Structure 1
Amino acid sequence: MEQRPNLDRSLDSQTFKQYYYLKEELVHFCRQNHIPTSGSKIELTERIAYFLETGKIMKTKVQTKKQSQITVIHETDCIESNFVCSEKHRAFFKQMIGSSFSFHVPFQKWLKNNTGKTYGEAIEAYYQILEDKKKRKTKIDKQFEYNTYIRDFFADNKGRSLEDAIQCWKYKKSIPGHNRYEKSDLRALNG
C-alpha cells in the first residue's frame, strides 16, 4: 500500500490535493505556519494549497455577524437576512414543531436562502424537508467524505461489517485520487 505523504512545507500543492487529511491535521499545519484556522475543511484545504504553491498566506474575509433585531419570534415575522441558528430560534421552532426539532443542514440552508419569507413558511418547509428526506437518499455535503464513503460502501455491500467499511476507507484515503467508494476498494480486505 502506498504511503500517504506527511503534510509539511516540502509537499507540493498538487500532491497535497490528491490525498485525504483529517481536519485536525489541516488545522495543525495551519497553526505551525501561521495560517488562519477558522472555517470549513474545504476552506482550510484551499488555504494550505495556496500556501504550498506560493509560500504566501491567503487573505481571509472577516465576517461579522449582525445581531438580530427580532426579540420575540412570531409565525408572521420575516426571516432576517442575517439569519443565525440561535437559541432564540431553536426555542421558537421547538415550541411550534415539538421537541424533535433540530437544525439539520437542509433546513439551515433553506432558512439562509429564504430571507424575507415568514417563519410560518419556514415551519411548512421544515415538514416538507422531512417528507422529502423519507423519499430519497440524503445528499451529504462534500466535506463529509467519510460519511459518504461509508454509506456508499454499505449500499454496495449488504451484510458487510463497519470494520470492513473502515478498513476500505483507510485504504482509499492512503492512495492518491478521489475518496469516493469503488468496488475495487474491497482489495483492502484481501490483504
Structure 2
Amino acid sequence: MTKLTHKKFKETYFYKAELVRICRNYGLPTQGTKAELNHYIDCFLSGIPANQIKPARTYQKAPSLKMSEISLDTPLVGSGFSFNNEARQFFATYFNVKKFSFTKEMAVIKRKAEADHNLSITVGDLINRAKEMTDSKQTWLKDLPEEQTYQWNNFVKDFCNSSKSHEFNKKMKVAAILWHHVKHSTGSKQYHDRLLDQFSEDIKPYHIKNH
C-alpha cells in the first residue's frame, strides 16, 4: 500500500469502505461511523500507536432482542437491543404507526450511550431525549462529527456533479479548498458554482487551462 501521510489523508476524500480497509491495514478498529473511522486514522497518522487507539464504542454481544422482549425499561447498552426490524416493529406499535423509521436523533443518543458505556439509559429515555432534541430545532446537529462528514459528502457529490468541476485537474483538492472556506463561514454548507468565482485565486493553480 502506498504510504499515506497525514497531509494526504486530510486532503483526500475516502469512501467508508476505503476507510475500513485503511484501518485494517494499520491494525486500527474497523467498526463505527465514517467520522469514527476518520478519527482512528487521524490519530494514527498523528503519531499515536495503533495499540493505543481503542474503539469509540462497545458493540453488541448479547443476542438481539425480539419485539416481545423490548419494553420502555430495556437498557440501550448490553441488553441485546439494536436498531433492527424487531425494534422497528416495537416503535411502530408504540407510536401507533404503520411504518416506523429510526431518526438521526435516536442514532446519536444510542451511539453516545455505547461510547459512554451507559447501562442506565433505557428505550423510554431514548424516546424522550429524541423528542427533546427534535424540539430544539436540531441546532445541536452542526457540531456532530457525523453531521460534518455528511455535509462534506454532499458538498463533494454536488461539486463533482457540476459541469464546472471538469475544468479542474485535481477535483478533490479543489473541493477541499472550497469546503475549508464554506465550513468556517456562517452561510450554507452546500456547494454552488458561485464558490468557484468567489475563491478563484485559491483554486487557480488547479485549473486545467493553467497547465
Normalising by the residue count of structure 2, what TM-score does the alignment of the two structures yield? 0.53
Where in structure 1 are there 5+ consecutive unaligned residues? 1-6, 154-161
Asked if structure 2 preserves the Cα contact closer than 8 Å seen for 1:20 and 1:174, the reply is no
Equivalent pairs, count: 167
Which of structures 1 and 2 has the larger relative contact order (alpha carbons within 8 angstroms, sep 6+)? 1
1:72 aligns with 2:69: yes
Shifted more, 51-60 versus 83-92: the winner is 51-60
RMSD: 4.6
Shift in CA distance, 118/36, structure 1 to aligned 2, threshold 3 Å = closer
Where 2:14 maps in the other structure, the secondary structure is: coil
Post-superposition offset of 1:173: 2.5
Post-superposition offset of 1:32: 3.5
1:13 aligns with 2:6: yes
Normalising by the residue count of structure 1, what TM-score does the alignment of the two structures yield? 0.57
Tell me the residue number matched to 1:93: 91
Where in structure 2 are there 5+ consecutive unaligned residues? 114-119, 183-190
Amino acid at match of 2:148: K
Between the aligned partners of 1:165 and 1:131, the Cα distance in structure 2 is 38
Post-superposition offset of 1:63: 1.9
1:39 aligns with 2:32: yes
Shift in CA distance, 141/165, structure 1 to aligned 2, threshold 3 Å = farther
Between the aligned partners of 1:84 and 1:117, the Cα distance in structure 2 is 10
Amino acid at match of 2:147: D
Alignment of 1:147-158 (within 5 A): 147=154
Between the aligned partners of 1:35 and 1:128, the Cα distance in structure 2 is 32
Higher helix share: 2
Where 1:63 maps in the other structure, the secondary structure is: coil
1:122 aligns with 2:120: no
Where 1:118 maps in the other structure, the secondary structure is: helix
Where 1:65 maps in the other structure, the secondary structure is: coil
Between the aligned partners of 2:133 and 2:46, the Cα distance in structure 1 is 45
